[in-house]
Amino acid sequence: MYEEKSDNSTKKLVKILVIVGIGIPVLVELMTLFNLINVQIFEDEKDVNSNDTNVTEVRGFGEGDTLFANQESAVLIDQLRVKVSAQEWRFALGITSMDSTSQEKLQIRVDSLRLQSKKILLGIDSSSWEVRQTVPAQIYGEWALPNGDIPTKLFVSIEQQEADSTTRVSQEIPLHKIPVRYNQE
Amino acid sequence: MTFIHKYPKAAKVAKANFIVAFIALAIGGFFGFVQALHRTNVFRGFFNSGEYYTLLTGHGVLLALIFTTFFIAGLFVWGVTRSLDREPENLAYTWSWFWLMTIGTIMATVAILGGLVPDSSIRAAVLYTFYPPLQAHPLFYIGLALVVVGSWMAGADWFWSYRKWRGENPNERIPILSFMTLFTMLMWYVCTIGLALEVVGLLIPWSLGLVTEIEPLLPRTLFWFFGHAVVYFWLLPAYYVWYAILPKLSGGRLFSDSMTRIVFIIFLLLSTPVGYHHQYADPGISVGFKFYAMASTLLLLLPSLITLFTVVASMEHGARQRGGKGYLKWIGKLPWDRPAFVGCALAGIMFAAGGFSGMINASMNINLLIHNTIWVPGHFHLTVGTAVALTFMAITYWLLPQLTGRKLKHKTLALIQPYAWFLGMTLMSNAMHRAGLAGVPRRTAEPEYMGFEFEPIFGTMTEMKWQIAIGGTILTISLILFLWVVVASWLAGEKSDKPVDDHIPEPLSGVEHTPAILDNMKLWFTLALVLVILAYAFPLWEMVADGIFSPGALPRPS
Amino acid sequence: MHIHKFEQFWIKLSFVLIAFFVATVVYGFVAMDLKVIGDHATIDPQNLADTKFGNPGVREVTRNGQTEYEVYVQTIQFAFNPGTAQPIEVPVDTRVTFYITSPDVLHGFDVAGTNLNTMAIPGQVAKFTTIFPEVREYGIVCNEYCGPAHHVMEGKIKVVPKSEFDKSNLVE
């Protein structure tokens, strides 16, 4: 008695809604069913290893690797880690100079850091982004990261001061699998 | 005359519950949208991956616990008042449980959202399962405890009405709407024993620092004591709608009163002793108990299959009343232009699909293939995310006019809404199930790994990812439509004495055919407790025997 | 009580379906050896150093005259040890038993795309045995939320031909 008879425009709308709102879902499910059966019955075991060779692993740097290996003043990454706690994510980096003769006038500097989110954190903007030390050539620094972000590339440069000239060498360091650990402090 | 005119006090209570429910739905739904885009890497600009877990906690708590509980409270206030024909016994009491639940909700929400404030120490990124030793702020646990205590008081309120009514009507059968309410609440009392023991007995003292160590397996087990039955606490009110109201919306009558009661009794008996089926992959619980839980779980298929029969039969009866003919042609005669009907019917169809993926989950050794993969949220977005949520939204279109005395506005938008939900959910859930088969985990901000690639059985990861993102977006649009229709109708709907046809006809096979023993609440409640003791006494004793807090782990802030 | 004859038929059919599902699981258990994780042992999560988990890795054992391997894995926030820093290397077609536990919070240990899938719960030792049938690499995913960097927790299993299996990495 309260049924307002639906007019023609409503009927048309219902038709469209049924086709789109129910038709597409039924189609999606039928396609899934078809594919499942197809894979199960008609396709031979997929050679799962075939595509593995295509993924060439980009070898990045990690803990224990040497930077500026072809320079006179090679340095070693002795710590590389993302420290995570409930409140913050921090990137920790420790570098040691390997050659004791050249270390006196060595300056190491983290220029910038490229993150997974493609953001770039610059070294020059804030002093905390700088590791600048001359002697001894063992340095350690920590930087706050945006929560959830991980560095993928590090841009480091060293400055070697000779008698009256300064050689500056920069290196781009792709990072490989930085250990991410809970920070208990 | 409609509900608000006959029972203005109860209408006010029901409306207050709906307001909280819909606010929770809006916030939780928005978080869901953000997650759908973040997880799939379509857009990660809203929040960062560390904050993702705060959003995920908010999504789970606000939708699965808050939206459902408040909506159910509103729905049951409506049903009990109407079927017993009496206003709440004591309004001060009624409002006290509402405010207790609301305060609890605010406390828990503040604790969760604190995680979005930099350097805040009030955090609760523990997800809605809050497994220790990950620790949330005490506010979170205390808030949730208040919500549960409030829900107990609400249940007591309805039992109070029932006792008063029984005093005046000693020989009548329990009206079906009240029967379903009371049995749902009996089940709720059984299952929340586990949650109360966990939260009040273990987690609150532990989060306050009164004890330092905690044994992770014990609270986890107590959580799942509660955690599967809570699923039925959401689902039974949807069944309540399908049994009591959907037949009417399709133009017919309920098929069988006695089968309805039997179904609710089976749920009371079997909902709780099945909790171990969430712990098939847990060490520390023997295979025998897991097997017992599996057998009970599969037996729970029975009441759902009976429901399928009864609901479809009732709808067919309705369609034939409207002139439907043939074996299947009658389906076309159903009112596919009525939002309330369409929502309930589509929700029911989706529940059937969710039931089948649930059977995979329940099958112990098959489960290991998909345990904790994105298959699982794919499954429960069909059940709680559609069967329950879409039914609640759809029935709002029918209830709201009764509670406000205003006609529904924007009927076209309201009609589009359930179809859009169905489309969006199919796209999203289908891809989640498929990705789960490839091993993609649930509960992660970035399901991309450096060392390996997932190998889907067919299709590509990219295609699934887009299907999830597009499905999630359509769901969000559908949710916005719903909220818009509700707000507009509530504030500006046309006032009317009879804003909707609220008559509910008698069942085809009525209460006169129903055996009296089905109404014996003491019997069924006792039996339910016995089954729970059989399932849980021994394994819980094993866990507690070596000390309640041992082997103990130290807390980790979340 | 009145139950319609179609409904009676439907209920019978439902019982058949339920019996079929239970039978499927039992068949998997008995005939295909698809077991689930059970109750193995408890352990003090704060003192793993004194146990075999203190020196995690692959061990060689002889059982019934057969050479088998045992793998002890600690799941920590946010790595598998071993598994993350270096892959777990095991030979193909050999019985391998995994023992997994966690010193901190709940984790998952899921060999992606397979049914090797267990929870790692502090205080409990998860134990399961498998035989890897083919030479390939598998990813290990932590599939239980374990904290803010949960999503970076991953590892690798490398299944190698028996002849190429390098025993110098075994732990004692």
Residue A85 has pLDDT above 90, yes or no: no
CA pair distance B241, B477, nearest whole angstrom: 25
Does the annotation count B410 as an active-site position? no
CA pair distance C161, C136, nearest whole angstrom: 9
The full DSSP string for chain A is ---PPP-HHHHHHHHHHIIIIIIHHHHHHHHHHHHHHIIIIIS----TTTTGGGS-----B-TTPEESTTSSS-EEEEEEEEEE-SS-EEEEEEEEES-SSSGGGEEEEEEEEEETTS-EEESSSSGGG-----SS-EEEEEEEE-TT--EEEEEEEEEEE-SS-EEEEEEEEEB----EEE---
C64: which residues sit within 8 A by CB, 6+ positions away?
A: none
Determine the angle formed by the axes of helices B339-362 and B375-382, rounding to 10 degrees.
Answer: 140
CA pair distance C99, C51, nearest whole angstrom: 12
Nearest chain C residue to A184 by CA: give it: C77
Q: How confident is the model at residue B232 (pLDDT cuts 50, 70, 90)?
A: very high
Q: Read off the pLDDT of residues B499-527 as tens digits, 9 standing for 90 and up.
A: 988 888 888 877 788 888 888 899 999 99
Beta bridge partners, A143, equal A91
Short-list B285, B168, B308, CA closest to B221: B285
Using a CB-CB distance cutoff of 8 angstroms, which residues of chain B are in contact with residue C24?
Answer: 363, 366
Contact yes or no for C76 and A89 at CB 8 A = no
Dihedral sign, Cα of residue B46, residue B51, residue B52, residue B57: negative
Say whether residue A27 is in contact with chain B using an 8 A CB cutoff: no
Q: What is the mean pLDDT of residues B159-181?
A: 93
Does the annotation count B291 as an active-site position? no
Amino acid at B551: P
Q: How confident is the model at residue B404 (pLDDT cuts 50, 70, 90)?
A: very high
Q: What domains appear along chain B, each with residue ranges and CATH number?
A: 3-445+468-557 (1.20.210.10)
- CA distance to B34, B61, B149, B446, per residue, from B55 (Å): 8, 10, 25, 14
For chain A, give the longest Cα–Cα distance: 103
Q: What value, to the nearest 5°, has the Cα angle with vertex C147 and ends C142 and C148?
A: 110
B439, C108 contact by CB (below 8 A): no
Does the annotation count B381 as an active-site position? yes
Q: Is B72 helix (H, G, I), strand (E, B) or coil?
A: helix
Using a CB-CB distance cutoff of 8 angstroms, which residues of chain C are in contact with residue A82?
Answer: 149
Backbone angles phi, psi at B140, to 5 degrees: -65, -50
Residue B199 has pLDDT above 70, yes or no: yes
- CA distance to A4, B161, B305, B335, B395, per residue, from B317 (Å): 21, 33, 18, 13, 20
**What is the pairing mode between strands A106-115 and A151-161?**
antiparallel
CA pair distance B206, B200, nearest whole angstrom: 10
Using a CB-CB distance cutoff of 8 angstroms, which residues of chain A are in contact with residue C152?
Answer: 150, 180
Instruction: Give the CATH number of domain A66-182; options: 3.30.70, 1.10.10, 2.30.30, 2.60.40.
Output: 2.60.40
Does the annotation count B317 as an active-site position? no
What are all long-range contacts of A137-141, with beta carbons under 8 Å and residues at least 24 apart? A137/A75, A137/A96, A137/A97, A137/A103, A137/A106, A137/A108, A138/A78, A138/A94, A138/A95, A138/A96, A138/A97, A139/A94, A139/A95, A139/A96, A139/A108, A140/A79, A140/A92, A140/A93, A140/A94, A140/A95, A141/A92, A141/A93, A141/A94, A141/A110
A66: which residues sit within 8 A by CB, 6+ positions away?
A: A74, A75, A76, A77, A98
Backbone angles phi, psi at A120, to 5 degrees: -115, 125
Q: How far is A28 from chain B (nearest CA, A)?
A: 7
B37, B472 contact by CB (below 8 A): yes
Other beta carbons less than 10 A from residue B288's beta carbon: 12
Q: Read off the pLDDT of residues B423-433 as tens digits, 9 standing for 90 and up.
A: 999 999 999 99
3-state secondary structure A15-32: HHHHHHHHHHHHHHHHHH
Q: How confident is the model at residue A50 (pLDDT cuts 50, 70, 90)?
A: very low
Amino acid at C27: Y
Would you list the domain boundaries of chain A? Answer: 7-43, 66-182
CA pair distance B92, B95, nearest whole angstrom: 5
Residue A21 has pLDDT above 90, yes or no: yes
CA pair distance C91, B57, nearest whole angstrom: 41
Residue B385 has pLDDT above 90, yes or no: yes
| Burial of C20 (C-beta count, 10 Å sphere; 0-12/13-18/19+) | exposed
| Burial of C12 (C-beta count, 10 Å sphere; 0-12/13-18/19+) | exposed
How many CB pairs lie under 8 A apart between chains B and C?
A: 234
Q: Read off the pLDDT of residues B266-321 as tens digits, 9 standing for 90 and up.
A: 999 998 888 889 999 999 888 888 888 898 899 989 999 989 888 888 889 889 98
Q: How far is C166 from chain A (nearest CA, A)?
A: 21
Nearest Cβ partner of B363 from C25, C112, C123? C25
Contact yes or no for C46 and B553 at CB 8 A = yes
CA pair distance B247, B310, nearest whole angstrom: 10
Backbone angles phi, psi at C87, to 5 degrees: -65, 155
Residue A104 has pLDDT above 80, yes or no: no
Q: What is the mean pLDDT of residues B234-254?
A: 92
Least confident of B136-145, B398-407, B502-511: B502-511
Using a CB-CB distance cutoff of 8 angstroms, which residues of chain B are in contact with residue A147?
Answer: 48-51
- CA distance to A57, B46, B475, per residue, from B471 (Å): 34, 19, 6
Find the helix or strand (DSSP H, E) in which B425 lies.
helix B411-437
Say whether residue B412 is in contact with chain A using an 8 A CB cutoff: yes
pLDDT, position A95: 79
Share of chain B above pLDDT 90, in %: 70
Q: What value, to the nearest 5°, has the Cα angle with vertex B25 and ends B20 and B29?
A: 155
Short-list B379, B371, B383, CA closest to B440: B371
Q: Is C118 helix (H, G, I), strand (E, B) or coil?
A: strand
Nearest chain C residue to B276 by CA: give it: C38
pLDDT, position A51: 46
Q: How confident is the model at residue A67 (pLDDT cuts 50, 70, 90)?
A: confident
Q: What is the mean pLDDT of residues C10-31?
A: 90
Q: Which chains neighbour A (Cβ–Cβ under 8 Å, 3 or more pairs)?
A: B, C
Short-list B121, B18, B8, B5, CA closest to B69: B18
Contact yes or no for C76 and A147 at CB 8 A = no
A129, A154 contact by CB (below 8 A): no
Contact yes or no for A86 and B125 at CB 8 A = yes
What is the ipTM, given to two decimal places?
0.93
A84: which residues sit within 8 A by CB, 6+ positions away?
A: A90, A180, A181, A182, A183, B50, C77, C78, C147, C148, C149
Residue with tokens 């700088």: A130
Contact yes or no for C148 and A180 at CB 8 A = no
CA pair distance B337, B205, nearest whole angstrom: 54
Does the annotation count B433 as an active-site position? no
Q: What is the mean pLDDT of residues B394-422?
A: 95
Residue B108 has pLDDT above 80, yes or no: yes
3-state helix, strand, coil in chain C (%, to 5): 25, 35, 40
Q: Is B549 helix (H, G, I), strand (E, B) or coil?
A: coil
Q: Dihedral through CA B140, CA B141, CA B147, CA B152, nearest 10?
A: 180
Look over chain B and give the mean of its residue pLDDT values, rounded to a whole number. 92
Beta bridge partners, B557, equal B135
| Burial of B200 (C-beta count, 10 Å sphere; 0-12/13-18/19+) | middle
Nearest chain B residue to C11 by CA: give it: B306
Look over chain A and give the mean of its residue pLDDT values, rounded to a whole number. 74
pLDDT, position B491: 95
Contact yes or no for C28 and B366 at CB 8 A = yes
List strand residue ranges (DSSP E) for B223-339, in order.
none
Q: What is the mean pLDDT of residues B409-428?
A: 95
Does the annotation count B232 as an active-site position? yes
Q: What value, to the nearest 5°, has the Cα angle with vertex B217 and ends B216 and B222?
A: 105
Short-list C83, C86, C85, C96, CA closest to C162: C96
Query: How many angstroms separate the first and last alpha carbons of chain A?
Result: 72
Does the annotation count B277 as an active-site position? no
CA pair distance C18, B304, nearest whole angstrom: 12
Q: Is B343 helix (H, G, I), strand (E, B) or coil?
A: helix
Contact yes or no for B286 and C104 at CB 8 A = no
B550, B214 contact by CB (below 8 A): no
- CA distance to B420, C17, C35, C36, C142, per residue, from C30 (Å): 45, 20, 9, 12, 29
Q: How far is CA B209 from the centre of its chain?
A: 32
Q: Which residue out of B225, B380, B397, B422 is catalytically annotated?
A: B380
Q: Read off the pLDDT of residues C60-103 as tens digits, 9 standing for 90 and up.
A: 999 888 999 999 999 999 999 999 988 999 999 999 999 999 99
Look over chain C and give the mean of its residue pLDDT values, rounded to a whole number. 91
pLDDT, position C41: 87
Q: Which chains neighbour B (Cβ–Cβ under 8 Å, 3 or more pairs)?
A: A, C
- CA distance to A18, B1, B317, B338, B409, per residue, from A3 (Å): 21, 18, 18, 10, 16
